[in-house]
Amino acid sequence: MQVRYGRRSGKAKERAGMESYEKEEIPYPPLLPSTVDLQQVTIIPHAEWERIRDSLNKLTREAAVLRAERTAKKNMHMKSQELVKHWTNTYAGMKEQKLRAKQKRDEELEAERQILDLEEEIYKQGERKKAIENAKQYQFYQTERVKRFHSGLLLSRVMKERDVQIQYKKNAVKSDEKWEEQVKLNDAKALKEDQEKLEKQRRERVALAKDHLKQIKEHEEEEETRKKSEEKDAEEIKRQNLLYEIEMKKKLSRKQEEIDASRKRFFDNMRDKNIIRAVEQQQQEEEEEKTRKFIKAKKRLIQMRKDKEAETHR
């Protein structure tokens, strides 16, 4: 048996009911079990059923709506944060930009200091190397073996040259006595020239040694002057740092004094405002009291007039 809104129908009505059911697309089944007592069944309109179901699901829908709104607000907040994160005209952006600029300046200053230290160390190493080479060369020239070697080399060259000359003279004029005298004179002259040359070389070596010693002394004096200059610069830097710290402390002190003065002015202003507010409130209360008295007196006059009119009427 089929029930359509509490009615029983035959086959024709059943077919019509089924067709109307398919057209209306009712969301609940049209058939009821055969054991159900139709007298106990309550038939309600479809709109009423929808209203009941909506009222039951109202809290769930409201919770879903609240969750959706909260999610939308959170997404909007995240988008806003992501959007303003790279802005430079905000307080956070300007602060970040200043920090980056300060970090960049510090890195550049540190790189420049490292380059200057490296150049100074290279220059010092070169100077030390030059001084060591000059000292080694001077010590090498001052050794007895080198001196004897130079003397022997010069003497051998001179003797060889003299032997060549003697042999040449002997071959040229063997029988001439004059030639022998000339040879003696040439030998004496050559020997004298050799001695003069040796003496000149000795003087040059002494002068060179003195020059080396003078250069070493000058380098030592330059090094001492440079050390004194560095110490003086270090003292000056220390003094400048101390002056900077003192100036910063003064600035902080002045800033704190300004802050204290601003706070004092603020509290004085607030106290003056409170006093003015209290005076205004008192004046307002006095005005209200005057108004009340005036109204009360007016009411009393009206009542007296009414009493007088009533008495006149009587």
* pLDDT average, residue stretch 173-193: 74
CA–CA distance from 212 to each of 135, 146, 183, 224 (Å)?
A: 8, 18, 42, 18
Question: What string of DSSP letters covers 167-223?
Answer: HHHHHH-SS-HHHHHHHHHHHHHHHHHHHHHHHHHHHHHHHHHHHHHHHHHHHHHHH
Residues 109-161 have pLDDT tens digits of 999 989 998 998 899 888 988 888 888 887 777 777 777 777 777 888 888 88
Task: Count CB atoms within 10 A of the CB of residue 313.
Answer: 6
- Indicate the DSSP class of residue 26: -
Residue 194: pLDDT over 70: yes
Which residues touch 4 (CB under 8 Å, ≥6 apart)?
13, 17, 21, 30
The residue that leads in pLDDT, 12 or 221, is: 221
C-alpha–C-alpha distance, residues 219 and 225, integer Å? 10
Task: Give all strands (DSSP E) within the chain, no chain letters.
Answer: 3-4, 7-8
pLDDT digits (tens, 9 = 90+) for 35-57: 767 777 778 888 888 888 777 77
Distance CA 149, CA 145 (A): 6
What is the model's pLDDT at position 137? 80
Residue 297 structure tokens? 């007196």
